[in-house]
Amino acid sequence: MGDAPPAAVTALNEGGASPFVLLCEHASNHIPEAYAGLGLPPRDLGRHIAWDIGAADLARGLSRRLDAPLFLSGYSRLLIDCNRPPGAPTSIPTRSEDTDIPGNFDLDDGERARREAAYFAPFQAAVARLLDRRAAEGRPAVVLGVHSFTPVFLGVPRPWLAGVLYAGAERFGGALVARLAADLGPEAVGDNEPYRIEPEEHDYTVPVHGDARGLDAALLEVRQDLIATAADAEAWAARLAPALAGVAGDSAARR
């Protein structure tokens, strides 16, 4: 018998005391054998197009140090992206960066619905249940997606070590940028870089789990070459946790 397939979502430390609720939507590059790697060679499935390299280890380290709940996705973003609205062109991409994804060409509605039900919906439901429970208990919640980004994108170098992406929670997002910049240096932290929150096509976590609930919410991005090993990810978790804890305390004090 083969190994059991991974769960669509793994929840850690759901009773954690921290205001932070951590999500790692691109934690895994796993693709079920039946999908034959979506027509891609193993080399491509190890790249950023399939997952956020180092993000899961960073998220686990932050969860331990902050005593925060953490939700990790179990499948590759290429099957269906847990930080994209279902039905958006980037939800099940046919091309990522400069690479075609043959196994995503010409999908019918049934296959799209199967992937949403199997890999996307369980992750979102688990997060929503915890946020609902915290709201019912009167406990604060600050939503933070943990991601990594490539040092170079389509030939363009990215100068930042880390970035903070936010939309409605401008005060929180700006405070987090300032805290990280005080440690890493003002030029090292991207303020809504290297991406922007785009609810219609490119984002789900911040607009749905955060802004729509009136919660402070952001995505934390760290350059993947800085956290590519477990040891490096743990070192960055130790470096980032104090800044995050300070900002979470400020957020809770405002509510």
Answer whether the bond into residue 6 is a cis peptide, omega within 30°: no
Contact 73, 26 (CB under 8 A): yes
pLDDT more than 70, % of the chain: 96
Region at 72 (left for phi over 0; alpha for psi -120 to 50; beta for the rest): beta
Segments making up each domain of the chain, as ranges: 9-254
To 5 degrees, how large is the angle CA 195–CA 9–CA 21? 60
pLDDT of residue 154: 83
Output the average pLDDT for the chain: 95
**Domain 9-254, CATH homologous superfamily name and number:** Zn-dependent exopeptidases (3.40.630.40)
To 5 degrees, how large is the angle CA 111–CA 40–CA 194? 90
What's the CA gap between 198 and 21, in Å, rounded? 21
pLDDT of 197 over the 70 cut = yes
213 phi/psi in degrees, rounded to 5 = -95, -5
What's the CA gap between 130 and 25, in Å, rounded? 16
Q: Is 0.85 surpassed by the pTM of this model?
A: yes
Q: Which of 30-39, 148-157, 224-233 has the weakest average pLDDT?
A: 148-157
pLDDT of 217 over the 80 cut = yes
pLDDT digits (tens, 9 = 90+) for 132-159: 999 999 999 999 999 999 999 888 889 9
pLDDT of residue 128: 98
